[in-house]
A and B are shown apart, each in its own frame.
Chain A
Amino acid sequence: MASGDFKTAYGEWKKKLGLHEEKHPPIRRRFSTVSDLEIPQALYTPEEIKDLDYLRDLGFPGEFPYTRGVQTNMYRGKLWTMRQFSGFGTAEDTNKRYKMLLASGQAGLSVAFHMPTLMGYDSDSPQSKGEVGKCGVAVDTLADMETLFDGIPLDEITTSMTINSPAPMLLAMYVAVAEKKGVPREKIRGTLQNDILKEYIAQKEWIYPPKPSMRLVADTLEFCTKELPNWNTISISGYHIREAGATAVQELAFTIADGIAYVQAGIERGLDVDDFAPRLSYFWDVHNDFFEEIAKFRAGRRMWAHIMRDRFKAKNPKSWMLRTHAQTAGVSLTAQQPMNNISRVTIQALAAVLGGTNSLHTNSMDETLALPTEQAVMVALRTQQIIAEESGVANVIDPLGCSYFVEWLTNKVEKEASAYIDRIDQLGGMLAAIEKGFPQAEIANAAYHFQRQLETKDKVMVGVNRYQQEEKSRSIDVLYIDKTAEQRQCARIADIKKKRNTSKVETSLIALDRAARGSENTMPFLVECVKNYCTVQEMCDVLRKVFGQYRDPGMY
């Protein structure tokens, strides 16, 4: 068909559409994604992506700019890693859940720590009252970590640890547990979230101010680059940014801007970009808006490839690849009619897979009510297995590539996210932007905008602001955290404190203090501390004295 024919035909169809819509107006005045990104047209055609250059903009899978995926044969070679994030109660309670998940076909573990560990407090600290084992597993000393991985072969599985401010301490514990099991450092594989910048932006689990926190990130980067060649050092996370209310574009932009800041920190530490960049990975949220999510995953890979090659002059293709974990959007789930969440999770998981994710957590239907029950977790894991084994979507690489709409949206999302990154560069980079409150304010505005849209029903949540039904009692079971977890855990700390060698504890904490005040890498000192059974809080308190503490500016 000659292009002139196409233009004429398209023009005529548009006229026809106009006439049709005069009689039958569209059901909404404005169509937009869940992030309120406007979708101006009803139809996308070659016209809307006429500037697309296949090799330049898409390339082949496993080749620059990786729009179609980072692996050459994607899921034909290896399915994504099904990795359910889990942790509750004591290490003993969680160890049982891990064994159940591994026995059910899950390939990797993902540790959820409880709030006190995430914030650098011990279970017996006054700040921990009521929090022990509630949002994750209680880990205070190496003894808990030993119990957590009891009977689990650390040379065979990969472990992801969602820990940020105390990431160096927990990494030190993992290294020590592996050593005790006779697994050498170069053999352990896993991921440390270790993304402190998004804590100030969104998740708010901080201890120290941003600058000393970035020094600790650089310490772990340097330590892992030299000692743990198979460890993913930072999981640069959009998840929490999105959950805090960001749009898809903001999630993409702020997360990549965080990634830029970490690469800079590694280079400033004196590391060669190609020595550490291949071990950086990403972590996306995957929300309900199917095509917006797929576009986000694809645009993210293209953006990162260009940033790493052109801005940071990385030469190793592995440094250019954005490898990512994804998790379905907790914030999209509803407490009302909770079984509906299974459908939401399925749509989201499918988007992550069509977006080319490398690893995936599917949320359980009951997570707006409590931590998930074993049954709910199983449905969530089986959802991934159904997508992988039954739906057929894993047969072909990037099947939506070259869809007129998906390519248009990928371009649109990239363009808007790049504009944000330019703005953050102008502010002096992400650290400066955070200190000015820029990403925090943008997210708060977006969260408020969305809530307003729910109130006016411009956006619909099924069962919440439309299709509500009277629910006499909750229709599903909910997990209760054993009330004795707090007592059991406090008794355990007391016992460890009695048994450990007090003078070794003191000496190793003094050595840590000295390292922190100077410019030495704190990691080897932390490994020494954990081996002597120093508690998380004891180590964090040493650093609190040296670095100070961050306080919430309380902006809203």
Chain B
Amino acid sequence: MKEEKIRVLVAKPGLDGHDRGAKVIARALRDAGFEVIYTGLHQTTEMIVNAAIEEDVHVVGLSILSGAHNALVPDVIKGVKKAGAKDVLFLVGGIIPDEDIAPLKKIGVHMIYTPGASLEEVISYIRKNAPKRKIA
């Protein structure tokens, strides 16, 4: 039985304009064979939830370097789950202080990447952990 190609939503919530990392990751994931949807900048959490549901993605990756992660990440996770998507893998990348990592993981973030993380780490984590969905 064939499996669906993994779809990854790379999203930039809030007002933060630092998109170097998000764009590099988006391109690396595309080159690694995933289907990538990049939202562009300045997305509200609601826009990101809608995109995740509409595109029926396997993975949601949020990139935040402004310090607003504690306010924004929970809204996205809650929104996606509330809309009925149960098996989505949530990743966060950016400037995330150590103290905030455990609380974010507790509310459902699967993995957090801070400065210095390699592209290969992210790619292999997604390969291993993204939900497997069979083509109906």
Spell out A's residues near B (CB within 8 Å): 115-116, 118-119, 121, 126-131, 134-135, 203-205, 243-245, 331, 334-336, 368-371, 444, 447-448, 451-452, 454-455, 461, 463-465, 473-474, 478, 481, 551-556
- What CA separation (Å) do A370 and B66 show in the bound complex? 9
Q: Are B67 and A245 in contact (CB under 8 A)?
A: no
Q: For residue B16, give the distance in angstroms from its CB to the closest CB of chain A.
A: 7
The answer to whether A447 and B20 touch (CB under 8 A), given A130-B72, A368-B115, A474-B98, is yes
**Given known contacts A130-B72, A135-B66, A335-B115, A243 and B20 CB-to-CB distance under 8 angstroms:** yes
Which B residues touch A130, using CB under 8 A?
Answer: 14, 67-72
Instruction: Pick the most buried of B17, B44, B71, B119: most chain A CB atoms within 10 A of its CB.
Output: B17
Chain A residues with CB below 8 A from B40, complex form: 551-554
Question: Measured between alpha carbons, how far is A486 from B16 in the docked complex, in Å?
Answer: 17
Are A134 and B67 closer than 8 Å at their CB atoms?
A: yes
Question: Which residues on the A side are within 8 Å of B115 (C-beta)?
Answer: 334-336, 368
- How many Å from the CB of B77 to the closest CB on chain A? 15
Given contacts A115-B16, A204-B17, A551-B40, contact A334 B68 (CB under 8 A): no
What are 6 pairs between A and B in contact, CB < 8 Å?
A: A131-B67, A135-B16, A244-B20, A371-B67, A555-B23, A556-B38
Query: At the interface, yes or no: B19 with Cβ under 8 Å from chain A?
Result: yes
Cβ proximity bits B12-34 to A, threshold 8 Å, 1 near / 0 not:
00111111101110111000000
Residues of B within 8 A of A129 (CB): 14, 68, 71-72
Cα A126 to Cα B26 with chains together (Å): 28
Count of chain A to chain B residue pairs whose CB atoms are closer than 8 Å in the complex: 110
- CB atoms of A370 and B68 under 8 A apart: no
Q: Are B15 and A447 in touch, CB under 8 angstroms? A: no
Distance to closest chain B CB from A191 (angstroms): 21
A447 contact set on B, CB distance < 8 A: 20, 23-24
> 9 tightest A-B contacts by CB?
A130-B71, A554-B40, A204-B17, A130-B68, A552-B40, A134-B67, A556-B23, A552-B41, A115-B15
In the assembled complex, how far is the CB of residue B49 from the closest CB belonging to chain A, in whole angstroms?
15
Query: Do residues B27 and A448 form an inter-chain contact, with CB atoms below 8 A?
Result: yes
CB contact between B20 and one of A245, A369, A473, A551 (< 8 Å): that residue? A245
Indicate if B111 sits at the interface (CB-CB under 8 A). no
Whether A204 lies near B66 (C-beta < 8 A) is no
Q: How distant is the Cα of A448 from the Cα of B66 in the complex, in angstroms? A: 22
B133 within 8 A of A: no
Expressed in whole angstroms, the Cα–Cα distance for A554 and B63 within the complex equals: 14
Report how far A127 CA is from B26 CA in the complex, Å: 25
Structural contact, B68 and A134, CB atoms closer than 8 A? yes
Q: Which residues of A are found within 8 Å of B114, using beta-carbon distances?
A: 335
B95 lies within 8 A of chain A by Cβ: yes
| Residues A131 and B15 in contact, CB atoms below 8 Å apart | yes
Chain B's closest residue to A130 (CB) is B71
* Nearest chain A residue, comparing its CB with the CB of B16: A115
Interface residue ranges, B against A (CB under 8 Å): 10, 14-20, 22-24, 26-28, 38-42, 44, 66-72, 95, 97-98, 114-116, 118-120
Closest chain A CB from B101 CB (angstroms): 12
Contact B116 A335 (CB under 8 A): yes
Query: Residues of A contacting B24 with CB < 8 Å?
Result: 245, 444, 447-448, 451
Contacts A451-B24, A455-B118 supplied; 13 other A-B pairs, CB < 8 Å: A115-B68, A127-B14, A134-B67, A204-B17, A204-B19, A335-B116, A368-B95, A370-B95, A371-B67, A447-B23, A448-B24, A556-B23, A556-B38
Report which residue of A115, A368, A452, A556 has the largest number of chain B beta carbons within 10 angstroms of its beta carbon. A556
Q: Which A residues touch B71, using CB under 8 A?
A: 129-131
Residues of B within 8 A of A553 (CB): 40
B16 touches A478 (CB 8 A): no
Give the residue of A135, A444, A464 whose beta carbon is less than 8 angstroms from that of B116.
A464
CB distance B66 to A115 under 8 Å? Answer: yes
A135 to B26, CA, bound (A): 25
Q: Are A131 and B66 in contact (CB under 8 A)?
A: yes
* B23 touching A127, Cβ below 8 Å: no
Q: How far apart are the CA atoms of A205 and B20 in the complex, in Å?
A: 14
Contact, CB under 8 Å: B120 / A455: yes
Q: Find chain B residues with CB under 8 A from A478 CB.
A: 97
CA distance A452 to B25 in the complex (A): 11
Q: In the complex, what's the smallest C-beta–C-beta distance from A461 to chain B, in angstroms?
A: 8
- Rounded to whole angstroms, the CA-CA distance of A150 and B72 in the bound complex is 34
B68's nearest neighbour on chain A, judged by CB, is A130
Bound state CA distance, A222 and B91, in angstroms? 48
